[in-house]
Structures are given as structure tokens and as C-alpha cells.
Amino acid sequence: VMSNNDGCVIARSAEMKAMEISMGTPAYQLEGLRRRGVIHLLSSNYELYGDMSARLAQLLRDTCPEVAPYSIDEMFIYLDGLSDTQCQALGTALRRRIRRYLGLPVCIGLAPTHTLAKLANHLAKKQPHYAGVCLLHGESATTQAVLKQLPVSDVWGVGRRLAERLAVSGIRTAWDLREHDPKRLRKRFSVVLARTALELRGTPCLELNAVEQPRQRIMTSRSFGKTTGVKEELHAALRRHAQRSAEKLRQQGSLARAVLLFLNTNRHRKDQPQLSPSTMIPLEAPTDDTRAILEAVREGLDQMYRPGFQFMKAGVMLLDLVDAQQYQLSLLQPTTKAHPHLMKAVDEINQKMGQGTLRFGMTDADAPWQLRCEHRSRRYTTCWDELMEAGTHPGAIAAARVKREQQRLAGGKRLAKARANGF
């Protein structure tokens, strides 16, 4: 799977990993393999991924009392009070049910802490004898053997640079980290790393199931399929991002007091002039109305646009957010023409019929700023025009249509013959 604008590889199958194709490989370097049919390259299909992720979360909630989504393809479930045997059986049943209802191949890691659960999930993927479900304990011999072989850089939350710093202190494996003094880790590195070490021992320290705090800023930005310096095209891109940000704002139940806009040229093109303008437009009153935000976008673009530059990226950020239910009005605040029912109707239609079904202003699907998705798979679950068709192979439907047409013609000939015979 490729990144935005089909730029580089961001996800790989086991077969591609075996070919030693690394993450971040530019897509153009793999074009020869794709043309020969050795590999398949797919554009990112976030609409499909997001829908399947939501379906997975709902399926888990139907079975488990507490679910904490961690990312679009990872979720934590909490099984307090169950024995090891019950956890193992539930994991096996969940894996089978997910495959049957959603067709998703998943692996499940079971452990007393989040960090060990991530490790157990890794083992479930890599070692076939676990059959997709792995259970680890903090003090078990299996866990200790795995930690002694695992590089510290593979521990959840430990990146490459931190691993290099840990290596200077003699911490090269997950076992070294586990056995290190948490107080010294906290003093020299961070409290998060000290908690990670305790989690490797089986002591729960991380809380992911706490109530999610509302975001203090909301941003939508995208790179363009092609660079552009046309003001109207930049305005169209910023309008699209502003509408998406406003939708996120309403979903959170917040109001924005300011709008930040920015544009970026391609910093890798040293042969082109560089510019990264930005501007912030205060709003007259806190709002979640898309139209007020779009007016701020128009004003901001007029302020920061400079001709003669080819821009590669645009973004909109909503700032200084307040709770829509607890915001206190001012006596001197100007009266705004907010229409919450209109915004609610737009959101409900887009949620039901697909994102972007209703939007403010016309958008050219072939505009240069649109994302390049030349190899996107079909949006089977969210787009009426791309629903999956029943058939055993790609030509099955066409063959069935030909057969029905032949049957219709044969039936017409029999009817004409019967009439000719006087029946």
C-alpha cells in the first residue's frame, strides 16, 4: 500500500517483506516489478480502512465490555476477571468471528499489560504454532526468553534515536530494559520509559481506556497530486480542508475562535523558489459553522498568496477551541447567523451517503491539487457505485449477461415459430 499521492510504500504483505522491500521505498522504483506482475501496488483507501475499523470496533464492543481503539488497525480490549483458559478461548473465538463477519485476518495478543500485549501480538503474527492467539505472562520462561532475544528498538514506544541512547547505557535488549532500575530510567530518560520497563515485568502502568480529552486544535492538510500556483485552485483545496476540519469540530462538540492557514512549496525542488506562508484569522465569535470558517479561509488566502510560486501542500487548522455546551456568551459579542440545524443535516447526509456528498462550493475532480490515487481499490462498503458484485471470477458477470441474452433471443425465436404455426 502506498502513501498519499502514491509516493512511497507504507504497508507491506509478508511476501513483499520476504523480497526485502523496505518501508518508505519510492513507488517509482517498484514500477518495473508491478508491470511484470511480480507485485501489486495499491493506493491508500482511507475510506474503506476507516469503515472496516469502525465495524471491527463495534464487533468487539458486542463481545467485550471495554474497548480502547489505539489506531485504525489496533485496538485494546480489557478482560478483567477472566482466567487464562477463558482468555485464550475468547481470543480464538473472536479471531474466528472477525474473519467470518468482516473477512479480516487478525492476530490477538493476551497479557497483563499493554506493552506485553503488543509483544504477544507480534509473536502471534510471526510464529504459526500460536494459531493467531498468543498469551504471555510477566514472569513466564517464554516471556523471558523472548525479551532476551528482542532488540530494545522493537519495544513499543522505543524509537531508533532512543534505542541509540539506551545502547550507550548498556541497554540493548528488551530484557536489559526490563531489569534496569526504573528510578534511574525515570531520572536519566523519562517517566514513560520507566513505566515501559515495569510493564515488561507484568506491572500495569499505562492507562489507555481513560476518557479521551478533547483536542485543543484540529487540522486537515494534504499534499497535492501536482504542484500548482493558481490562486483559484489553492482556494479550492483550502475550502475542502476547511470543510473537513469543521466536520471534525462538530463531531467533538467544540467551537473555534481562530483559523490558521498555511501553504508549502516542495522543499526538495531546489531549482524552484521556496515559500511557506501562513496566516491566522480570528473569528468574530466562537463557531462551528462551516460558512464562517470558509469566509475566514477566503480572507486568509488573500493575505498570504504570492504569485510566482508552485505550492505542494496546503492545510487548515482550527485553534483556540472551546466546549460548545459550556461556552459563555459576551454581552458585547456580535450576533452571528449560525444555523446548527443546517450543519447537522449536512453532517448526517454525508455520514449516511459518504463523505463529500454535500459540500460548499464546486470541486473539480481533475484539479491538480487532488490526491493522486491511480491504483486505489474499490470502496466496497461506503460507495454505492463500487459495491462488490457476486461472481466466481472477473468474467463471471459478463458471461452471465451473455447467457441471459442468448436465452432471451432463443425464447423470442420459439415464440415466433409458435405464432407461425398458428398457436
Q: How far apart are CA 181 and CA 241, in angstroms?
A: 47
Q: How far apart are CA 252 and CA 257, in angstroms?
A: 15
**182 closest CA partner among 172, 193, 174, 173:** 193
Q: How far apart are CA 371 and CA 247, in angstroms?
A: 20
Give residue 412's pLDDT band: very low, low, confident or very high (50, 70, 90). Answer: low
Residues in the chain: 423
**pLDDT value at 43 more than 60:** yes
Residue 93's CB: how many other CB atoms inside 10 A? 12
Q: What is the mean pLDDT of residues 102-108?
A: 91
For 399, list phi and psi in degrees, rounded to 5: -65, -40
Q: What is the mean pLDDT of residues 243-261?
A: 91
In the block, cell 473472536 appears at 94
**260 closest CA partner among 280, 239, 240:** 280
Give residue 139's pLDDT band: very low, low, confident or very high (50, 70, 90). Answer: confident
**From 101-110, 130-139, 294-303, 353-362, the region with the lowest mean pLDDT:** 353-362
pLDDT (tens digit, 9 = 90+) per residue, 374-390?
A: 777 787 787 777 777 76
**pLDDT value at 211 more than 50:** no
Q: Checking DSSP bridges between strand 133-135 and strand 108-110, what pairing results, if any?
A: parallel
Q: Which helix (H) or strand (E) holds 241?
A: helix 231-252
Give residue 109's pLDDT band: very low, low, confident or very high (50, 70, 90). Answer: very high
- The answer to whether 167 and 127 have CB atoms below 8 angstroms apart is no
Contacts for 41 with CB less than 8 Å, ≥ 6 apart? 2, 6, 27, 30, 34, 375
Burial class of residue 321, CB neighbours in 10 A (0-12, 13-18, 19+) = buried
For residue 111, give the 3-state DSSP assignment: coil
The cell numbers describing 225, all together, are 497530486
**pLDDT value at 326 more than 70:** no
The residues with which 135 forms a beta bridge, in sequence order, are 110
Q: Which helix (H) or strand (E) holds 197?
A: helix 191-200
The residues with which 256 forms a beta bridge, in sequence order, are 287
Task: Return the percentage of the chain with pLDDT > 70, whole number.
Answer: 87
pLDDT of residue 210: 47
For 316, list phi and psi in degrees, rounded to 5: -130, 130
Q: What is the mean pLDDT of residues 163-187?
A: 90
In the block, cell 513483499 appears at 16
The residues with which 412 forms a beta bridge, in sequence order, are none
pTM above 0.75, yes or no: no
Give residue 397's pLDDT band: very low, low, confident or very high (50, 70, 90). Answer: low
